[in-house]
Amino acid sequence: MQEQLSQVNQMIAEIQDFQADTKDKLELFKSNYIGKKGAITALFDQIKEVAPESRKAFGMELNRLKEIAQEKFKILSEIIEAKNEAGSSKPTDLTLPFIPNALGSIHPLVQTRARIVEIFERIGFTQSEATEIEDDYHNFTALNFPPNHPAREMQDTFFIEKKQAGNDEQSDILLRTHTSSVQIRLMQKQKPPIRSLMIGRVYRNEAISARAHCLFHQVEGLYVDEKVGFADLKQTLYHFAKEMFGKDTKVRYRPSYFPFTEPSAEIDVTCLICKGKGCNVCKYSGWVEIAGSGMVHPNVLENCGIDSEKYTGFAFGMGIERVTMLKYQIKDLRLFTENDVRFLRQF
């Protein structure tokens, strides 16, 4: 066995000293050492000539030799490959004209969101966030949507885990259909006064078209304190419309219904595309709806542990896409999510 071990050690020294700077030399290394007819294979064939009690030790030495050879082959291959890549690259042509790096721009939805936050921060609103995956209680029940109430059908919901009939409906897990669920979580952990914005993505199972999408962004506002009235709501949204769309913008309030507010109203502003004259966007009425609003329903306050006899509040909600479409006169909602560079470069 001593003779075989001497051959192994000698071969390790040869492998470590071997140098290859071309593919031909690399192939020579492979055929001499790790090929099927190479020296290492020949040594493995000699195991049967070694005494049985020494075969295990000799086999371990051969495996070490094989690993050293394979590692050496890998290193030599990388060196030659890097050398070939460096030699094949063409030198830089300094006579070519300079091509500047193309700069991106801020997405129009991000710009609109930042502007909305700026307007409301100046009048004391903070920001609040919560999870986009909600349970039935925070998304519906706490907002005065009783089980099996027809108002639940106003929003087509993406359910992640829906319980079987007869189980507790509050256990249903879903993608939030509005950021009103953030209002519930905020009122549960913070007592009045509360003045905050809730901004984020919401999801509804709707067909995608120029005027609707299954995913969009919503901003909601909540103000709860003593002696908060409908006049406070009107002046807040009047201020927002003037700041966002311009001083010439007119605002209209229409009675409406939402389970979580009473009384409720929808907010219209002058159509910025036709300037109130009438077009297909405003359905020739001269007005475009931008938000829903109302006084927070007493049941909602009580569900969050707030005394509805002492405190009142208002809430409003609007789609950031709708505001952006009006501000920049965009007629197709799908442009916001298609990532068309021609569209994004305009902003």
Which of the two residues, 286 and 125, has the higher pLDDT score? 125
Using an 8 Å Cβ cutoff, are 301 and 307 in contact?
yes
Same domain, 159 and 222: yes
For the chain, give the mean pLDDT: 86
Domain shared by 273 and 129, yes or no: yes
How does pLDDT run across 303-313, given as a tens digit for each residue?
Answer: 999 999 999 99
Q: Are residues 340 and 302 in the same domain?
A: yes
Range of the domain at 53: 2-88
**pLDDT score, position 86:** 63
Mean pLDDT of 204-213: 84
Can you tell me the mean pLDDT for 130-146? 91
Please indicate, yes or no, whether residues 67 and 197 belong to a single structural domain of this protein: no
Is 330 among the domain residues? Answer: yes
Our CA dihedral for 140, 143, 147, 151, rounded to 10 degrees, sits at: -80
Work out the average pLDDT over 95-118.
87
pLDDT tens digits for 147-178? 777 667 766 888 888 765 555 544 689 999 99
Looking at residue 170, its pLDDT comes to 47
- Split into its structural domains, the chain has a count of 2
Residues linked to residue 293 through DSSP beta bridges, in sequence order: 265, 316
Given this model, what pLDDT does residue 273 score? 77
**Listed residues 88, 121, 156: the one ending a domain:** 88
**Same domain assignment for residues 141 and 27:** no
Across the range 264-284, mean pLDDT stands at 83
Residue among 231, 176, 167 at smallest CA distance from 199: 176
Q: What is the pTM of this model?
A: 0.67
> Which residues fall within 8 angstroms of residue 253, CB to CB, at 6 or more apart?
234, 265, 266, 267, 268
Q: pLDDT tens digits for 326-336?
A: 888 888 889 99
326's CB contacts (< 8 A; 6+ apart) are 245, 269, 271, 272, 273, 288, 290
Element (H, E) at 220: strand 215-225
What is the domain-level CATH number for residue 112? Answer: 3.30.930.10
49 plus 116 within the same structural domain: no
Q: φ and ψ at 117, to 5 degrees?
A: -60, -45
* Average pLDDT of the segment spanning 25-50: 82
Statement: residue 46 has pLDDT above 70: yes
Q: Specify whether 38 is located in the same domain as 178.
A: no
| pLDDT tens-digit series, residues 224-273 | 999 999 999 999 999 999 999 988 889 999 999 999 999 999 999 988 87
Task: Write out the two tokens for 81.
Answer: 């490959």
Token readout for 338 is 């298609």
Does the residue 294 lie in any domain?
A: yes
> Are the beta carbons of 271 and 286 closer than 8 angstroms?
yes
Looking at the fold, whether 133 and 14 belong to one and the same domain comes out as no
Q: Residues 210, 307: one domain?
A: yes
Mean pLDDT of 38-62: 80
Paired tokens of 93: 């042509």
Cα 20 to chain center, whole Å? 50
The confidence score (pLDDT) of residue 164 equals: 57
Q: Is the peptide bond before 263 cis (omega within 30 degrees of 0)?
A: yes
Which of 88, 120, 140 is where one domain is finished?
Answer: 88
